[in-house]
Chain A
Amino acid sequence: MKHSLGLGVNRIACDGHGLCAELFPERVSLDEWGYPIVDGQPIPKELEQHARRAVAECPALALFLTRRAA
């Protein structure tokens, strides 16, 4: 089965460091308080690298990838 990649945030863990928006601006913006607003669109192959880096670099370990049946 084909799967599409998405981005999720553990809102309890998230401290609003904002690194995700810097590393993955294609899908993450910040609200006026510095917390991520995630675009729910599936992540295409060419953006996967950015997504993985954002997840790996999150200081609060709050960002994660989701896999949904496409």
Chain B
Amino acid sequence: MSAELRSEPTARRLLAGVRRDGRAVTLAEHRRAHGDLAVDTRTILDTVEASGLRGRGGGGFPTALKMAAVRDAGRRAVVVANGAEGEPISGKDKTLLAYVPHLVLDGAVVAARAVRARDAIVAVPEFLQPVVEHAIAERDDGRISLHAVTVPDTFIAGEETALVQFLDGGPALPTFTPPRPFERGVRGLPTLVQNVETLAHLGMIARYGPHWFRAVGTAEEPGSTLVTLSGAVSSPGVYEVPIGQSLDALVADAGGIGRGAAAYLVGGYFGTWIPADADVSLADADLARHGAALGARAIVVLPQGACGVRETARIARYLAAESAGQCGPCVHGLDAVATDLEQLLDRARRVDGRRLQRRLEVIAGRGACKHPDGAVRMVASALRVFEQDVRAHLSGRRCEATR
């Protein structure tokens, strides 16, 4: 999506320096705002651990643990800044790379020094390659060399084994694990793959320390995070919020919802539908009450009067089409699930609701990557939240929205 930029004033950290004219912050401007970057390699991992930083790409894995695993592999490592934001409803990573690339590059350098890497590869969509290349050319990071590499614009390209295989000259498709990239990644070396937002936070933590980082967010999930808000809000775009902020407050900051919301899809296309009256805060601990998580940090607002089954069918079809096409249960299973949902919408077709439920249960955990798991989780949540609509469609009636 085009990343229109918004920022909630109380948590402006990553987006604080963004220029109104929309051009990328230069290195000189960046240094004026934040000073020089100095990394104490003896203490940096302790600092990251104390900060409680977790991955912002979807998995939410503790960053310090991943860094320690790569460093302790005992060989020259490689860092990959993952900006392959294939999720169509997410714009946060593109926003960082386009407007504040040096925040990401600082983080990549900090990570490289921490895990003793000399190469840090920044994986970016094609349209951002010039911006990131320009930013890299402005810098001098001593023995660490940064490279921008354009990655394919597919949903799966950001999956970390797919990214590693692509950077090694292969197709951008997931590979069998183990080994995971932290064990054997780019050129067979231990590879730290981190989402670009995670790295942007890392660069800030290296400068301002764990205490500063923890000043916003919750004790378990410290810091701020970027969220891409889309759908039926007045001002869709990328927002920065303290973790733990209420979703209702974010929606209000985004100008509210005209007709009111029917439901939210939280966590991107692999996310979870939750009812509009759920009253959740944007933290995994609270979202877990609804089986949801921040995930890719993309949120869609479905307006009153729209059919949740129709939107779910559309996303399911997209995810089926974006399967890497390598694993049978994903290829056939996601297509079957999407077809079931489409036929549910077609009053002339009869759909066996129990068969759809069975299909959802049998697909998860049977792919090389988590693509099928994410897709069926999203669909299963839709069957719960839009139960009435589903029942209306199953009995050949029209749902509220299409009546």
Interface residues of A (CB under 8 A from B): 9-16, 31-35, 37
Give a binary string over B25-61; 1 marks a CB under 8 Å from any A CB, 0 the rest. Answer: 0000000000000000000000000000000000000
Q: Which residue of B lies closest to A15 (CB)?
A: B328
Binds A, one of B225-233, B266-274, B295-303, B360-368: B360-368
Question: Is A11 a contact of B366 with CB atoms below 8 Å?
Answer: yes
**How far is the CB of B172 from the nearest CB of chain A, in Å?**
14
Q: With A12-B176, A13-B176, A14-B327 as given contacts, are A33 and B332 in contact (CB-CB < 8 Å)? A: yes
Query: How many angstroms from the CA of A22 to the CA of B217 in the assembled complex?
Result: 54
Query: How many angstroms from the CA of A9 to the CA of B176 in the assembled complex?
Result: 10
Question: Is A11 a contact of B362 with CB atoms below 8 Å?
Answer: no
Main secondary structure of the interface of A (DSSP, over half): loop
Query: How many angstroms from the CA of A34 to the CA of B174 in the assembled complex?
Result: 22
Q: Does B329 contact A (CB under 8 A)?
A: yes
Question: Is B176 a contact of A33 with CB atoms below 8 Å?
Answer: no
> Which among B328, B336, B362 has the greatest number of chain A C-beta atoms within 10 A?
B328
Instruction: Return 12 A-B CB contacts under 8 Å, by A number.
Output: A9-B366, A11-B328, A11-B367, A15-B328, A16-B328, A31-B329, A33-B328, A33-B332, A33-B333, A35-B366, A37-B362, A37-B366
Question: Is B366 a contact of A12 with CB atoms below 8 Å?
Answer: no
**How far is the CB of A18 from the nearest CB of chain B, in Å?**
11
Query: How many angstroms from the CA of A37 to the CA of B328 in the assembled complex?
Result: 11
Query: How many angstroms from the CA of A34 to the CA of B175 in the assembled complex?
Result: 22
Residues of A within 8 A of B402 (CB): none
Residues of B within 8 A of A32 (CB): 336, 359
> Which among A10, A14, A16, A35 has the greatest number of chain B C-beta atoms within 10 A?
A35
Residues of B within 8 A of A34 (CB): 328
**How far is the CB of A20 from the nearest CB of chain B, in Å?**
13
Residues of A within 8 A of B368 (CB): 10-12
Q: Which residue of A lies closest to B329 (CB)?
A: A35
> Which among A12, A14, A32 has the greatest number of chain B C-beta atoms within 10 A?
A12
**How far is the CB of B339 from the nearest CB of chain A, in Å?**
13
Residues of B within 8 A of A13 (CB): 176
Q: Does B388 contact A (CB under 8 A)?
A: no
Question: Is A11 a contact of B175 with CB atoms below 8 Å?
Answer: no
Query: How many angstroms from the CA of A36 to the CA of B99 in the assembled complex?
Result: 47
Question: Is A12 a contact of B329 with CB atoms below 8 Å?
Answer: no
Q: A9-B366, A12-B368 are in contact. List 18 more A-B contacts (CB 8 A).
A: A10-B176, A10-B368, A11-B326, A11-B327, A11-B328, A11-B330, A11-B367, A12-B174, A12-B175, A12-B327, A13-B176, A32-B336, A32-B359, A33-B333, A35-B328, A35-B366, A37-B362, A37-B366
